[in-house]
Amino acid sequence: MASPMHQFEIQPVLALPTVNIPGLGMIDLSINNSILSMLIAAGVVIVLMTLATARAAVVPGRVQVIGEGVFGYIDDLATSIIGHEGRSFFPFVFTLFLFILTMNFLGLFLMFTATAQLAVTATLAAMTILLVLVVGFVRNGANMYKLFVPAGVPWYMLILVTPIEIISFLLRPVTLALRLFGNMLGGHVALKVFAGFVALAFGGGIGLLGIPVATLSLGGIVALTALEFLVAFLQAFVFAVLTCVYLNDVVNLGHHH
């Protein structure tokens, strides 16, 4: 049986030349299965949203209903967490949610899941925290310190509370990246293990014992697949929610400290 981790190995798909970019050094432009998966996910999002908005009708079709439903869902999410200024950050949160959701779902149909790569989830988390920092300093300037100094805390407690707040903030991109990465990786490993049990039942020379083993394994695969679809949505949703929460911390800094 193949290793459950084999499905996460980076494999070259299209060899392209290496270029020298000043300040960055030599950059390999070759496309691997991770990049291809992300390109396909981006393409699917673009196509679906184009179809949903290209022929807007009073009586919407199925694609338009899906597009408007997702649009309204994320719009309500952003405005309910951030407030009336949530609309300003809607494009980022909406794109992030759809991109992660599509990559998660594609991983259930294709042999590669981009969000099961820590480099991918860490990049998305870094982009999110960078946006939070930029918005925070642009809107609040030197008052950003209030993010780490909760209002109403006695001065002598700030010696303990402030370092905790700083560490908590620095861990935000780490937890964002690891949560998405760990859930997608673990689910796919479990599916591969159960699939290995099925292969063992039919080709492992265990005789009639293979029938109950195969039956239980197939049942486990069906249950895990259904669970993985739920996890795929929930992880994209949680990433979007936490992005809104972190943006709310800096957008409404003066209102909750």
Q: What is the mean pLDDT of the chain?
A: 85
Tell me if 236 sits within 8 A of 101, measured CB to CB. yes
**pLDDT band, very low/low/confident/very high, at 203 (cuts 50, 70, 90):** low
pLDDT of residue 21: 80
What whole-number distance in Å separates Cα of residue 173 and Cα of residue 163?
17
| C-beta of residue 192 within 8 angstroms of C-beta of residue 224 | no
What phi and psi, each to the nearest 5 degrees, are found at residue 18? -95, 130
CA 203 to chain centre: 37
Is the confidence at residue 257, as pLDDT, over 50? no
Q: What is the rounded CA–CA span in Å between residue 223 and residue 130?
A: 38
- pLDDT of 153: 77
Q: Report which of 8, 78, 20 is spatially closest to residue 243, judged by C-alpha positions.
A: 78
pLDDT tens digits along 91-120: 999 999 999 999 999 988 876 889 999 999
Instruction: Give percent helix, percent strand, percent coil of the chain, each to the nearest 5.
Output: 75, 5, 20
Reduced to 3 states, what is the DSSP secondary structure of residue 28? strand
Give the integer Cα–Cα distance in Å for 86 and 152.
27
Give CA separation, 226 vs 4, 108, 187, in Å: 19, 10, 11
Question: Which one of 26-35, 76-85, 124-133, 216-225 scores highest in mean pLDDT?
Answer: 124-133
Report the alpha-carbon distance of residue 34 to residue 36 in Å, rounded.
5
CA-wise closest residue to 206 among 195, 198, 216, 194: 198
> In Å, how far from its chain's centre is CA 151?
33
Residues 238, 242: Cα–Cα separation, whole Å: 6
Cβ of 78: how many Cβ atoms within 10 Å?
27
Model pLDDT for residues 4-13, shown as the tens digit of each residue: 777 788 888 8
Q: Are 147 and 169 in contact (CB under 8 A)?
A: yes
**Radius of gyration over alpha carbons of the chain, in Å?**
23
